[in-house]
Amino acid sequence: MNDRLSNSNSDLAAIILAGGKSSRMGTDKALIEIEGIPLIQRITQIAQGLTPQVYVVTSTPEKYQSYLKGCELVKEIDPQGPLTGFAEGLSWTHTEWVLLLACDLPKLKLEPLQEWVSRLPEIAPEAIAYLPHHPKGWEPLCGFYGRSSLPHLQAYIASGGRSFQEWLAQHLVIEIPLAEPDLLFNCNTPADLNNILSNFSLALDNCDLKKKIAEN
Ligand SMILES: Nc1nc2c(ncn2[C@@H]2O[C@H](COP(=O)(O)OP(=O)(O)OP(=O)(O)O)[C@@H](O)[C@H]2O)c(=O)[nH]1
Ligand SMILES: [Mg+2]
């Protein structure tokens, strides 16, 4: 067996990024409620189904803390995009593997993630990440990174790099076979949100957003 990971999820932590501008949505995506549950809470609860060690990286922890029972809030002082947010979170972790998740993945489910976790012991030790791939490149915000990737990541950031795709291209990354691409549906705009509502067959609990969607 690969010695990077035992069978226990005590070797896994999760990092959730909640520090974006939500400029396309026009309102904080993390707080959009679906079935009365804010997206940030939905994602952290899924992550907590895999590991008790869940870190939420954000420059505004006060906005989210009431929804994030049992999570560690990591306050970002100088947010510069998802890559630096991830590096900040990764520096707090101590596990062999870290699951990185965006906060705007409303179709994410626990079961496929559990299956992916079960495959981590098979990943080549020289790989820095285990990620889904789509036609435009890696999906960096729903997959796994070895904690040993931190020095590489810090060096890349110190050299001025801010692109996940560029950084990942410099290293071995193993692809997660994706049976349900829908899981990665990224909710960035009011139109995206409108698209997913039928899946949940529910009312949207955010009145301002209801107006935006109606205008769209
Ligand atoms: N901690 C942290 N998370 C970030 C930062 N920028 C983006 N994110 C997160 O990264 C994920 C993907 O972000 P995007 O959807 O690409 O961008 P966004 O800034 O949230 O939204 P737009 O302004 O519409 O591009 C989301 O979970 C964001 O909260 C950042 O500077 N710090
Ligand atoms: Mg997004």
Interhelix angle 190-200/207-215, rounded to 10 degrees, is: 110
Looking at the chain, the whole-number percentage of residues with pLDDT higher than 90 is 82
State in Å: Cα 119 to ligand 2 middle. 26
Condensed to tens digits (0 to 9), the pLDDT of residues 53-96 reads 999 999 999 999 999 999 999 999 999 999 999 999 999 999 99
More confident call, 144 vs 9: 144
Condensed to tens digits (0 to 9), the pLDDT of residues 145-168 reads 999 999 999 999 999 999 999 999
State in Å: Cα 103 to ligand 2 middle. 8
Q: How far apart are CA 16 and CA 27, in angstroms?
A: 18
> Residue 2: inside a domain, yes or no?
no
The answer on pLDDT for 15 being more than 80 is yes
State in Å: Cα 75 to ligand 1 middle. 15
DSSP-based three-state secondary structure for 118: helix
pLDDT for 135: 87
> Residue 43: inside a domain, yes or no?
yes
85 lines ligand 1 (CB under 6 A): yes
pLDDT for 131: 98
> Residue 29: inside a domain, yes or no?
yes
Which ligand is closest in space to the CA of residue 140? 1
pLDDT for 4: 43
| CA nearest neighbour of 15 among 55, 70, 68 | 55
76 lines ligand 1 (CB under 6 A): yes
| CA nearest neighbour of 134 among 87, 183, 171 | 183
**Arithmetic mean of pLDDT, 189-194:** 93
11 lines ligand 1 (CB under 6 A): no
Range of the domain at 48: 10-215
Structure confidence at residue 35 as a pLDDT band (50, 70, 90): confident
Structure confidence at residue 123 as a pLDDT band (50, 70, 90): very high
> Residue 3: inside a domain, yes or no?
no
Which ligand is closest in space to the CA of residue 21? 1
| CA nearest neighbour of 91 among 104, 118, 110, 72 | 72
Q: Which atom of ligand 1 is nearest to the CA of 102?
A: 27
Tally of domains in the chain: 1
Q: How far apart are CA 66 and CA 134, in angstroms?
A: 35
The answer on pLDDT for 8 being more than 80 is no
> Residue 35: inside a domain, yes or no?
yes
Q: What is the CATH number of the domain that holds 27?
A: 3.90.550.10
**Arithmetic mean of pLDDT, 161-185:** 96
Please name the residue whose Cα sits nearest to atom 21 of ligand 1. Answer: 22
The answer on pLDDT for 130 being more than 70 is yes
> Residue 200: inside a domain, yes or no?
yes
134 lines ligand 1 (CB under 6 A): no
> Residue 5: inside a domain, yes or no?
no
Q: What is the token pair recorded at 214?
A: 């109606």
pLDDT for 202: 47
Q: How far apart are CA 106 and CA 87, in angstroms?
A: 24
Which ligand is closest in space to the CA of residue 19? 1
17 lines ligand 1 (CB under 6 A): yes
